[in-house]
Structure 1
């Protein structure tokens, strides 16, 4: 697959992940691609990605009918370059032998992949734990509790209780959405208690959020932005949003 087509399909998948449905006409207006090109891309997505349903004039995505592992893979494929960029910036904040927490999520997973120094790491993510377990220079701990199917994250009350046994220098957390008005919010209640516990157990909290998360609001509140030592994002964040957060006194890095 060419890089151009890969980028097009990535943008289409991102929209479908957020909105579950996209017509060819909407994609044409939003993404400015030719209609014939989009028809070919839609047909390709419908035949290669589980949970995608092609209907006359568009695509639907059903999480319930998709393979759970595919759901994770799809989430991981969204904004891949942005997540790697954020991980590289976040890596600069970790010193040899630091004791840190890595929250669940694909951006934190990217950070785990490039952790090339001795460190002690607590995580609430099965995939991150698997990656860290292969690193002889990292002493890793995984928090126990219920695992969210298809996402490989650990949550619920047992996980929050276990987190209370740790105190660390800093934690890197993720979120589904953030805004100046509503702070950090999540789409599901499953991880909210864990994220709140992480914030309580670390001296410094660094939020890793790609540009698509900004000025969005989800139903479940995690914390205000004032609880964050800094927010690390990517260069695709619009200048106007970046300046607005700076003016509000938020330590934002891109």
Structure 2
């Protein structure tokens, strides 16, 4: 596959992950690709990517029929530079020998990768635990419980009960969406109890959220933004949104 086609398909997949559906007309207007080129790319995507379904005039992403490892890889590679930027900002909040919790998710995984100082770390994510197991300067713990297939996150009541045995200096949590009206929300119920418990067990809570998650709402409520010490985002958050959140009293940095 040529580099140009690879870039086109990457842009199309990125949009489908965020919006679940894309017509050829929309793709032409948004991405400025020729209709004939888009039809070929759409057919290729439907054939080679699990969960991508072709319909007359477009593509849709059915997450329920997608291979779970493919879904994780898609999510991991979305806004990767933004996640790395957020991770570096979050790293500045951690002092040597702090006791912290790292929530599940790809942004928290990026933070784990840059933890070069000695610290004690509790996590609810199998991939993050694997990363920390290779870092001899960290004293690391993984919460036990049910693992969500394909997503590598730990949840349900057993994990929540185990989390209650810890009290930490700081927690770094992720979310699927946040807004001034709805607060922090998640797309699935599986991790909600865990995230609520993390917020309760930390002296300070930092929410790591890239710009694409702002002013979005998902079905399951986690908390209001007033429960968060600081929201850390990336430089691509529009100035207008940055000012709105700061004016509303949210401690937001980028």
**Normalising to structure 1: TM-score of the pair?**
0.93
Matched residue count: 254
CA positional deviation for 1:40: 4.3
Contact 1:99/1:120, CA 8 A, preserved across alignment: yes
**Distance in 2 (alpha carbons) for counterparts of 1:123 and 1:173:** 10
1:116 Cα shift? 1.1
Q: Residues 188-246 of structure 1: CA distance to partner in whole angstroms, max 9, x if unpaired? A: 11111100000000000000001110001111111110111111111111111011001
Secondary structure of the equivalent of 2:140?
A: strand
Residue of structure 1 in register with 2:69 after alignment: 69
2:57 corresponds to which residue?
57
User: What's the secondary structure of 1:139's corresponding residue?
Assistant: strand
In the TM superposition, what is the alpha-carbon distance from 1:4 to its structure 2 partner? 6.2
The aligned residue for residue 229 of structure 1 is 229
Q: Which runs of 5+ in 2 are unaligned?
A: none
RMSD: 1.8
Aligned to 2:97: 97
Verify the 8 A CA contact 1:13 1:78 in the aligned structure 2.
no
Per-residue displacement from partner, 1:124-178 (whole Å, max 9, x unpaired)? 0111111111111111100011111111111111111000000110000000110
Q: 1:235 to 1:41 in 2, by over 3 A?
A: farther
> Which residues in structure 2 correspond to 1:114-125 (within 5 Å)?
114-125=114-125
Q: How does 1:120-131 map to 2 (within 5 A)?
A: 120-131=120-131
Query: CA shift at 1:9, angstroms?
Result: 3.5
Local SS of the residue matching 1:89: helix
Superposed, 1:1-254 pairs within 5 Å as: 8-254=8-254
2: CA distance, partners of 1:169 / 1:59:
46
After alignment, is 120-129 or 29-38 more displaced? 29-38
Judge conservation of contact 1:119–1:139 (CA < 8 Å) in 2: yes
Change (3 A) 1:152 1:9: same
Tell me how far apart the structure 2 counterparts of residues 163 and 126 of structure 1 sit (CA, whole Å): 15
Pairwise CA distance, 1:80: 1.1
Q: Choose 72-81 or 5-14, whichever is displaced more.
A: 5-14
Q: 1:169 to 1:4 in 2, by over 3 A?
A: farther
3-state DSSP of counterpart to 2:166: coil
Q: 1:202 to 1:59 in 2, by over 3 A?
A: same
**Corresponding residue SS for 1:86:** helix
What secondary structure sits across from 1:111 in the alignment? helix
Shift of the alpha carbon at 1:62? 2.1
2-side partners of 1:111 and 1:144: how far apart? Answer: 21
Q: CA deviation at 1:119?
A: 1.1
Unaligned runs of 5+ in 1: none
* TM superposition score normalised by structure 2: 0.93
